[in-house]
Chains A and B, each alone.
Chain A
Amino acid sequence: MLEVKNLKTYIDTGSGTVKAVDNVSFQIEAGETICIVGESGSGKSVLAHSIMQLNPSPPVFHPEGEILFEGKNLLDLSEKELRRIRGNEISMIFQDPMSSLNPVFRVGDQLIEAIRSHEKVSKKNAKKRALELLTDVGIPDPERRLYDYPHQFSGGMRQRVLIAIALAGRPKVLIADEPTTALDVTIQAQILELMRSIQKKYETAIILITHDLGVVAQIADKVLVMYSGRIVEKGSVSDIFYRSTMPYTWSLLRSLPRIDADASNRLIPIQGQPSNLIDRPKGCHFAPRCPFATEACLEIDPALTKRGEGHWAACILSEEEFSNKKQELEVYAQKGAVK
Chain B
Amino acid sequence: MLQYTIRRLISIIPVMLVVSIIVFMIVHLTPGNPAYLILGEDSSQEAVQQLEEQLGLNQPIVVQFFDWVINVFKGDLGESVYSSEPVLSIILDRIGPTFSVMLISMIFTLVIAIPVAIFVVWKRQTALDPLFISASLLGASIPEFWFAMLLVLGLGVSIPIFPVAGYIPMAEGVLPWLHHLILPSFVLATVEIGLISRMLRDGMLEAVNQDYTKTARAKGIKESAVLMKHVFANALIPTTTVIGVTIAGLLGGTVIIETIFTIPGIGQLLIDSIHRRDYPVIQGVVLFIAVIYVVINLLVDLLYGLLDPRIRYD
- Please state if A94 and B125 are interface contacts (CB–CB under 8 Å): no
Bitwise, B121-136 to A at CB < 8 A (1) or not (0) is 0000100000000000
> Considering only CB atoms, which chain A residue lies closest to B312 in the complex?
A151
- Please state if B308 and A113 are interface contacts (CB–CB under 8 Å): no
In chain A, positions 59-100 with a C-beta closer than 8 Å to chain B are: 60, 79, 82-88, 91-92, 94-96, 99-100
- Please state if B223 and A79 are interface contacts (CB–CB under 8 Å): yes
- Tell me the complex Cα distance, A169–B215, Å: 14
In chain B, positions 222-269 with a C-beta closer than 8 Å to chain A are: 222-223, 230, 233-234, 237
B179 to chain A, nearest CB (A): 40
Tell me which residues across on chain A come within 8 A of B237, comparing CB atoms. 104
Q: A149-B309, A149-B310, A151-B310 are in contact. Are A102 and B217 (CB under 8 A)?
A: no
Q: A57-B125, A94-B211, A149-B309 are in contact. Are A102 and B220 (CB under 8 A)?
A: no
* Range of interface residues on A (Cβ < 8 Å): 35 or more
Asked whether any CB of chain A lies closer than 8 Å to the CB of B170, the reply is: no
Q: A102-B234, A104-B308, A149-B309 are in contact. Are A168 and B219 (CB under 8 A)?
A: yes
Tell me which residues across on chain A come within 8 A of B217, comparing CB atoms. 54, 86
Tell me which residues across on chain B come within 8 A of A113, comparing CB atoms. 216, 219, 221
Tell me which residues across on chain A come within 8 A of B310, comparing CB atoms. 103, 149, 151
Q: A105-B233, A149-B309 are in contact. Are A100 and B222 (CB under 8 A)?
A: no
B120 to chain A, nearest CB (A): 15
- Please state if B218 and A87 are interface contacts (CB–CB under 8 Å): yes
Pair count A-B, CB < 8 A: 80
- Please state if B220 and A83 are interface contacts (CB–CB under 8 Å): yes
In chain B, positions 72-89 with a C-beta closer than 8 Å to chain A are: none
Tell me which residues across on chain A come within 8 A of B215, comparing CB atoms. 94, 100-102, 110, 162, 165
- Tell me the complex Cα distance, A165–B308, Å: 22
Tally chain B residues at the interface, Cβ within 8 Å.
Answer: 23
- Tell me the complex Cα distance, A94–B214, Å: 9
Contact of A85 (CB < 8 Å), options: B220, B230, B233: B220
> Considering only CB atoms, which chain B residue lies closest to A56 in the complex?
B209
- Please state if A58 and B125 are interface contacts (CB–CB under 8 Å): yes
- Please state if B218 and A99 are interface contacts (CB–CB under 8 Å): no
- Tell me the complex Cα distance, A149–B218, Å: 20
- Tell me the complex Cα distance, A85–B217, Å: 11
Tell me which residues across on chain B come within 8 A of A92, comparing CB atoms. 218
A222 to chain B, nearest CB (A): 24
- Please state if A99 and B212 are interface contacts (CB–CB under 8 Å): yes
Asked whether any CB of chain A lies closer than 8 Å to the CB of B210, the reply is: yes
Tell me which residues across on chain A come within 8 A of B216, comparing CB atoms. 102, 113
Asked whether any CB of chain B lies closer than 8 Å to the CB of A220, the reply is: no
- Please state if A96 and B211 are interface contacts (CB–CB under 8 Å): yes
Tell me which residues across on chain B come within 8 A of A102, comparing CB atoms. 212, 215-216, 230, 233-234
Asked whether any CB of chain B lies closer than 8 Å to the CB of A191, the reply is: no
Contact of B309 (CB < 8 Å), options: A57, A88, A104: A104
- Please state if B212 and A101 are interface contacts (CB–CB under 8 Å): yes
Asked whether any CB of chain A lies closer than 8 Å to the CB of B307, the reply is: yes
In chain A, positions 97-137 with a C-beta closer than 8 Å to chain B are: 99-105, 110, 113-114, 117-118
Asked whether any CB of chain B lies closer than 8 Å to the CB of A166, the reply is: yes
- Please state if B220 and A87 are interface contacts (CB–CB under 8 Å): yes
Asked whether any CB of chain B lies closer than 8 Å to the CB of A205, the reply is: no
- Please state if A52 and B219 are interface contacts (CB–CB under 8 Å): no
- Tell me the complex Cα distance, A254–B237, Å: 49
- Tell me the complex Cα distance, A114–B230, Å: 13
- Tell me the complex Cα distance, A178–B131, Å: 39
- Please state if B219 and A103 are interface contacts (CB–CB under 8 Å): no
> Considering only CB atoms, which chain A residue lies closest to B310 in the complex?
A151
Q: A100-B211, A102-B234 are in contact. Are A114 and B219 (CB under 8 A)?
A: yes
> Considering only CB atoms, which chain A residue lies closest to B223 in the complex?
A79
- Please state if B214 and A117 are interface contacts (CB–CB under 8 Å): no
In chain A, positions 205-253 with a C-beta closer than 8 Å to chain B are: none
Tell me which residues across on chain A come within 8 A of B210, comparing CB atoms. 99
- Tell me the complex Cα distance, A56–B218, Å: 12
Tell me which residues across on chain B come within 8 A of A105, comparing CB atoms. 230, 233
A200 to chain B, nearest CB (A): 23
Q: List 7 A-B contacts (CB under 8 A).
A: A54-B217, A92-B218, A99-B211, A105-B233, A117-B219, A165-B219, A166-B218
Q: A99-B210, A102-B234, A104-B307 are in contact. List 6 more A-B contacts (CB 8 A).
A: A57-B125, A87-B221, A103-B308, A104-B233, A149-B309, A169-B220
Q: Which residues of A line the B interface, CB within 8 A?
A: 52, 54, 56-58, 60, 79, 82-88, 91-92, 94-96, 99-105, 110, 113-114, 117-118, 149, 151, 162, 165-166, 168-169
